[in-house]
Amino acid sequence: MTEDTPVIEAEEAVAKSADTEAADFTVEAYRHAYEEMLLIRRFEEKAGQLYGMGLIGGFCHLYIGQEAVVVGAQMAMEDGDQVITGYRDHGHMLATGMDPKGVMAELTGRASGYSKGKGGSMHMFSVDKNFYGGHGIVGAQVPLGTGIAFANKYRSNGAVSLTYFGDGASNQGQVYEAFNMAELWRLPVVYVIENNKYGMGTSIERASATTDLSQRGRSFGIPGEQVDGMKVEDVRAAVTRALGHARSGEGPYILEMLTYRYRGHSMSDPAKYRTRDEVNEYRTKKDPIDHVRDILVKEHGVAEDDIKSIDKSVRETVNAAAEYAQSEPEPDPSELWTDVVS
Amino acid sequence: MPTEILMPALSPTMEEGKLAKWLKAVGDDVSAGDVIAEIETDKATMEVEAVDEGKLGKILVDEGTEGVPVNTPIAVLLEDGESESDISAAAKPANGNAGGAASAKGDGPDVTGSLSAEAPRAPAAPASGPGPAEMPDDQPPEPDVPEGTEMKQMTVREALRDAMAEEMRKDEEVFLMGEEVAEYQGAYKVSQGLLEEFGARRVVDTPITEHGFTGLGVGAGMAGLKPIVEFMTFNFAMQAMDQIINSAAKTHYMSGGFIKCQIVFRGPNGAAARVAAQHSQDYAAWYSHVPGLRVIQPYSATDAKGLLKAAINDPNPVVFMENEIL
């Protein structure tokens, strides 16, 4: 574990699973995944641009590089399953089907944003899309997501709570308190650990005594596995397994997604803690979107023009969201006093 | 010399109790550790174990007697060779070192060791004496209670339980979770009988993990259930404050009003008796500074019942602080 780089582990995971996981991933599934991942990529690039122009204030944590995780997971979910995550959350919102206009308008702090301009990057919600935020305290969403699972079991509604957190949050005490209750009460929850190798600027090796996060539930009896989070088909297959486990009443399941964020922790991160070569290695050889694009073109014979038309339509969606987010009004100052209590 | 057995204090707040049952009869041999009687305290029925050995010489308080003050002699133990005639000679100067108090749990200095006539009679509430049930006497009459309404005497703890039970009967989405709320019937006996009526699905014993189970309750609240999260005392909720404040109180505002969390955090708050600084805090001012929380501190049984029912029905997170001593 200590000598191998996480990249190599991910490659091994692919070697194990590629034959089986990719087999039932149809051309339509690849096309869908490509479109969804590209939407997140372009959206986040645009958000970074608007941030640089001073149009987005506060914190802004971009998801670029990790797109295969939320898109693959969403493809495995059933209607009614819920999603909750931390503050690197734009990708999750778009994957659950939230409107890019409303998300971007919240980023620019406008009244027509998902939280009326009062939540910002880290705090958006959509009960319609079963997206429960968007939480700014590292690890806090883990008991919350476990509570959503508790409600599912209480109501016997058959839904599973997908509770996302990062490698940084995986050292939080409340995560283990939640693990204990989830297994004790056999709650329908899948914990998706997005291990992007760095908790802010501290590498996982410098923060965690054990770095195989998929095994963090072992002392509670929670099964877990590592997944190549750069391969959308592997993600979908693993989440399908985990959801099946949780939905059948067998309790929680842990999936450690080995992934990578290309950008800094937040917009103000100079990224001095890693080399440019390391980032480029992922960008050029592991990119989740390039991977799917290659398969579409080379294995399924999809024409370059088809791909370009997807690219174009995604760009138009993102540009429309950006324009909307700049033209909508900011909330009235009196909104400071609303929604404090209901 | 005959040894007196005194009415023990079996909880930090007990001042008197009911001698429910004698398990030994006059003439029986008693060894240290034998269960000799059952006593109903303000919280539960407890067994009393002998701390000395001998023969039970005389029972001074009959079973079924209520309101026996702590430290009252309840029986006399005879040593080998002594007979009942020795009792009158020795029993009366009971102010001496009788030292025969029984203790169920080794509660420490409350019940063992030297007991004198001035021995503190259990941790006393300020202005001790009448329990909460008698308190309405000093209160102005309720303006909206029609004349001639028959009033019922009730302890605060019964009022709290009834409030929860009534709301749980009305609304399937209301449930109670916390440490010892189910099988133990509540550390302060507040949830007595609820497990029996509502079952383990709705009366949920949690592990001793305040931070985790509070977050879990808040998540269930965000998903639309109406949790009542009991803290054994609010002192322990300090571990859970992040979830109470950052998750429960603020999310409604930060979501532009779209996420609601109808949840009650309740439990005893404030100074208790002789339990040191960690267990004696009053959090009213802390929570009152947090936008998004409603903060309640009921006093009488009437307030406790009405306000708890209102709290359960309020669409906001409510911090409901009961008095540790009532």
Tell if the CB–CB gap between B215 and A137 is shorter than 8 Å.
no
Tell me which chain B residues have a C-beta less than 8 angstroms from the C-beta of A137: 242, 246-247
Chain B positions touching A177 (Cβ under 8 A) are 207, 209, 211-213, 215
CA neighbor of A133 nearest in space, from A169, A177, A103, A173: A103
For residue A205, what are its two tokens?
């090796």
Residue B113 above 60 pLDDT?
A: no
Min CA distance, B292 vs chain A (Å)? 5
What local confidence, expressed as pLDDT, does residue B73 receive?
93
* Active-site option among B49, B210, B230, B322: B210
Residue A21 pLDDT more than 70? no
Tell me how far apart the alpha carbons of residues B240 and B210 are, in angstroms, rounded to a whole number.
Answer: 6
Nearest to B222 among A115, A144, A176 (CB): A144
What pLDDT does residue A77 have?
98
**Strand (E) positions, B184-276?**
203-205, 226-230, 264-269
pLDDT bracket for residue B10 (50, 70, 90): confident
Residue position matching structure tokens 């931390």: A86
Instruction: Say if residues B169 and B146 touch (Cβ distance below 8 Å).
Output: no
Q: Give residue B151's pLDDT.
A: 86
Q: Over pLDDT 90: what percentage of chain B? A: 63
Q: Between chains, do B315 and A144 touch, taking CB under 8 Å as contact?
A: no
Query: Average pLDDT in the B30-58 region?
Result: 87
pLDDT tens readout for residues A216-248: 999 999 999 999 999 999 999 999 999 999 999
Average pLDDT for A189-193: 98
Of A118, A136, A177, the CB nearest to B256: A118
pLDDT at B141: 59
Measured between beta carbons, the chain A residues lying within 8 angstroms of B315 are 342
Tell me whether B220 touches chain A (CB under 8 Å).
yes
Residues 6 or more apart whose Cβ sits within 8 Å of residue A15: none
Q: Helix (H, G, I), strand (E, B), or coil: what is residue B227?
A: strand
Point out the least confidently predicted range of A292-296, B74-78, B95-99, B216-220: B95-99
Query: Distance (Å, rounded) from C-alpha A146 to C-alpha A179?
Result: 8
C-alpha gyration radius of chain A: 19
Contact B254 A174 (CB under 8 A): no
* Tokens standing for residue B172: 């399937």
From CA B59, how far away is CA A266, in angstroms rounded? 77
Q: For B207, which residue in chain A has the nearest alpha carbon?
A: A181
* Residue-level pLDDT at A10: 43
Q: In sequence order, which ranges of chain B are alpha helices (DSSP H)?
A: 84-91, 156-170, 194-198, 210-222, 241-242, 250-254, 284-288, 301-313
pLDDT the model gives residue B138: 55
Q: What pLDDT is attached to residue B142? A: 62
Give me chain A's average pLDDT, please.
93
Structure tokens that stand for B212 in this block: 């985790």
Whether the pLDDT of residue A5 is over 60: the answer is no
- Nearest chain A residue to B175 by CA distance is A154
Nearest CB partner across the interface for B255, out of A123, A173, A184: A123
pLDDT digits (tens, 9 = 90+) for A122-131: 999 999 999 9
Q: Does B178 touch chain A (CB under 8 A)?
A: no
Cα gap B5→B59, rounded to integer Å: 9
What pLDDT score was predicted for residue B144? 73
Integer Cα distance of A217 and B268 in angstroms: 34
Residues 95-154 of B with CB under 8 A from A: none
- Residues A143, B207: C-beta atoms closer than 8 Å: no
Averaged pLDDT for residues B185-209: 95
B279 in catalytic set = yes
**Inter-chain residue contact B215 with A152, CB threshold 8 Å:** no
| A83 inside 8 A of chain B by CB | no
Contact (CB<8Å) B256/A145: no
Flag whether pLDDT at B103 surpasses 70. no
Residue A342 contacts B, CB cutoff 8 Å: yes
DSSP string, A70-99: HHHHHHH--TT-EEE--S--HHHHHHTT--
Q: With b meaning 16 or more CB within 10 Å and e meaning fewer, what string describes A2-25?
A: eeeebbebbbebbeebeeebbeeb
Q: Are strands B294-296 and B264-269 parallel, antiparallel or unpaired?
A: unpaired
How many Cβ atoms from other residues are within 10 Å of residue B53's Cβ? 15
Average pLDDT over residues A271-283: 92
With CA atoms as reference, the chain B residue closest to A151 would be B220
Q: Is A113 on the interface with B (CB under 8 A)?
A: yes
Tell me: pLDDT of A329 over 70. Answer: yes
Give residues 137 to 166 of A whose Cβ lies within 8 Å of B.
137, 140, 142-152, 154-155
Of A117, A144, A155, the CB nearest to B247: A144
- Please give the structure tokens belonging to residue B61: 């308080």
Looking from the CA of A65 toward its CB, the CA atoms found within 13 Å total 25
Distance (Å, whole) CA A332 – CA A337: 10
Mean of all residue pLDDT scores within chain B = 85
Q: ipTM for the complex? A: 0.92
- The pLDDT value given to residue B137: 52
The confidence score (pLDDT) of residue B312 equals 98
Answer yes or no: is pLDDT of A23 > 80.
no
**A186 touches B: beta carbon within 8 Å:** no
What value, to the nearest 5°, has the Cα angle with vertex A150 and ends B176 and A121?
Answer: 110
Burial of B39 (0-12, 13-18, 19+ CB in 10 A): buried
Separation of alpha carbons B295 and B291, rounded Å: 10
Whole-model pTM over 0.80: yes
Write down the catalytic residue from B63, B79, B84, B279: B279
Instruction: Find residue B16's DSSP bridge partners.
Output: B69
Cα A112–Cα A114–Cα A116 angle in degrees, nearest 5: 50
Cβ–Cβ below 8 Å for B216 and A143? yes
Cα atoms found within 13 Å of the Cα of residue B134, Cβ hemisphere only? 5
What is the predicted pLDDT for the residue at B306? 97
From chain A, the residues in CB contact with B310 under 8 A are none
Q: Above 80 in pLDDT, residue B297?
A: yes
- A75-85 pLDDT, tens digit per residue, is 999 999 999 99
Region A39-57 average pLDDT: 96
CA of A117, closest CA in chain B: separation in Å?
Answer: 8
Would you say residue B129 has pLDDT above 60? no
Residue of chain A whose Cα is closest to the Cα of B202: A154
Question: Please, which pLDDT band fits residue B26 given cuts at 50, 70 and 90?
Answer: very high
CB within 8 Å of A40: residues ≥ 6 apart: A63, A64, A67, A70, A71, A90, A91, A94, A95
Query: Before B212, cis peptide (omega within 30)?
Result: no
A301-305, B101-105, B153-157, B273-277: range with highest mean pLDDT: A301-305
pLDDT at B122: 43
Confidence category of residue B89, pLDDT binned at 50, 70, 90: low
Cα-based distances in Å from A48 to A56, A100, A283:
9, 15, 17
Give SS3 for A166: strand
